[in-house]
């Protein structure tokens, strides 16, 4: 659940259970540095913001769902869900913003 887990920035995604302080999931990102990890409001999906794309995972078994292309840049710095979970919003270091519907 998003309230109990946090992400760590690197070339993979580690999800930690804050209560037990244990790493619950370790996902390798193919040649991508992860800049952000954001959970959908209902906790069913997670978006890992990486260079040029947002990678979406379902969180019950941590299966890869798909990649959502980010803006045409190489400096994607964040990806967050809209409050209703209908859109993933991305931001880049140069100040550009974009939105995409998750799969």
Instruction: Estimate to the nearest angstrom the gap between the alpha carbon of 15 and the chain centroid.
Output: 11
Does the pTM of the predicted model rise above 0.85? Answer: no
Average pLDDT over residues 9-19: 76
Q: In a 10 Å sphere around its CB, with 0-12 CB exposed, 13-18 middle and 19+ buried, how is residue 19 labelled?
A: exposed
Measured distance between the N- and C-terminal CA atoms of the chain, rounded to whole angstroms: 20
Among candidates 4, 5, 7, 54, which has minimal Cα distance to 32? 54
Percent of residues, the chain, with pLDDT higher than 90: 14
Q: In which band, very low, low, confident or very high, does the pLDDT at 96 lie, cut at 50, 70 and 90?
A: low
């Amino acid at each position: 659940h998003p309230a109990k887990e946090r992400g760590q920035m690197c070339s993979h995604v580690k999800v930690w259970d804050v209560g037990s302080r244990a790493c619950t999931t370790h996902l390798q990102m193919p040649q991508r540095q992860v800049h952000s990890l954001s959970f959908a409001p209902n906790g069913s999906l997670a978006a890992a913001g990486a260079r040029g794309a947002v990678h979406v995972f379902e969180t019950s078994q941590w299966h890869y769902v798909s990649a959502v292309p980010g803006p045409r840049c190489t400096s994607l710095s964040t990806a967050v869900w809209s409050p209703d979970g209908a859109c993933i919003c991305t931001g880049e270091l140069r100040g550009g913003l974009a939105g995409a519907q998750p799969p």
